[in-house]
Amino acid sequence: DTGVSQDPRHKITKRGQNVTFRCDPISEHNRLYWYRQTLGQGPEFLTYFQNEAQLEKSRLLSDRFSAERPKGSFSTLEIQRTEQGDSAMYLCASSSLSGNTIYFGEGSWLTVV
Amino acid sequence: QKEVEQDPGPLSVPEGAIVSLNCTYSNSAFQYFMWYRQYSRKGPELLMYTYSSGNKEDGRFTAQVDKSSKYISLFIRDSQPSDSATYLCAMSLFSGLYNQGGKLIFGQGTELSVKP
């Protein structure tokens, strides 16, 4: 069990640039989640996939954000035209379909300058 | 008002103390309750998971859920400096068997420091 893997771990980008994060879930897990966490706050739900289907998106996920999970394996989260307010840690998590235990990756830190 | 309230601390205790961490919530429909530990600049690590009311024990950790009071607790016995971290409570409405399963609502997190 290699756990949930996220890449890159850190990204510094200029305002207006696009960034993409990748997540590889635990191999047998059907569900994959994206959360965002800012300093001093708990993670906030962004979106989740069951296999390749995106089943729910939070209103926090503006039009500049898009997530995909082709073939129900890894997932990508893209942020277009980044803003300073996008600076946060982006967390990926996964779980099995029948389980309620959700495992998080180490996160991808984004700093927009 | 947030759905899940958690005192951010910081909480500082001497090594060996019993630590009590708590969360209150407003949505009586929450059924699944978790505690995560998060070290600085790392992802949350699942510590405990409980369903509905009751107690669950795992080593030095005990989780309690009181749905009538909308109150959950995590107790850490014989606390160690390695327990120093931020503790996040999280809760969910539905089982993973349902389409909305797994969407967690987190508290703000309590920062704990255990001094040697």
Each residue's pLDDT tens digit, A52-74: 999 888 988 889 999 999 988 99
Q: Quick one: pLDDT at residue A78? A: 97
Q: Which pLDDT score is estimated for B98?
A: 55
What was the pLDDT predicted at B95?
58
Contact at CB, A40 and B51, closer than 8 angstroms: no
For B43-56, the pLDDT digits (tens) are 999 999 888 888 99
**A57 to chain B, closest Cα gap in Å:** 10
Q: Is the pLDDT of residue A85 over 70?
A: yes
Instruction: Determine the average pLDDT of the residues in B33-44.
Output: 94
Q: What is the CA radius of gyration of chain B?
A: 14
Give the pLDDT of residue B66.
94
3-class SS of residue A23:
strand
| Burial (0-12, 13-18, 19+ Cβ within 10 Å), B24 | middle
Per residue in A25-44, pLDDT (tens digit) is 999 899 999 999 999 999 99
| Distance set, CA A64 to CA A20, A80, B111, B115 (Å) | 12, 5, 33, 44
What are the tens digits of pLDDT across the range A3-26?
999 999 999 999 999 999 999 999
What pLDDT does B53 receive? 82
Which residues between 51 and 110 in chain B have a beta carbon less than 8 angstroms from any beta carbon of chain A?
Answer: 51, 88, 90, 92, 95-97, 99-109
Across the range B2-26, mean pLDDT stands at: 94
My answer on whether omega of the bond before A43 falls inside 30° of 0, hence cis, is no
Q: Which of B52, B35, B43, B49 is nearest to B88 (CA)?
A: B35
Tell me how many residue pairs between chain A and chain B have CB atoms under 8 A apart.
75
For testing contact with chain B, the best of A54, A102, A104, A108 (most B CBs within 10 A): A102
Q: Look at residues B18, B24, B20 and name the one whose alpha carbon lies nearest to residue B6.
A: B24
Nearest to A88 by CA among A59, A112, A58: A112
Contact criterion met (CB < 8 Å) for B104 and A104: no
Mean pLDDT score across all residues of chain B:
91
- What's the average model confidence in pLDDT over B13-38? 94
* Nearest residue in chain B measured CA to CA from A57: B103
| pLDDT above 60: residue B99 | no
Whether the per-residue pLDDT at B8 is higher than 90: the answer is: no
Give one DSSP letter per residue of A81-99, joined into a string. S--GGG-EEEEEEEE-SS-
How many CA atoms lie within 13 Å of B18's alpha carbon, on the beta-carbon side? Answer: 6
Inspect the interface and report whether the beta carbons of A103 and B46 lie closer than 8 Å. Answer: yes
**What is the predicted pLDDT for the residue at B103?**
81
Q: Are B115 and B59 in contact (CB under 8 A)?
A: no
Please give the average per-residue pLDDT across A87-107, as a whole number: 89
Give me the amino acid identity at B104.
L
Tell me how close the Cα of B101 comes to any Cα of chain A, in angstroms.
7
Average pLDDT on A82-94 reads 96
CB atoms A48 and B103 under 8 Å: yes
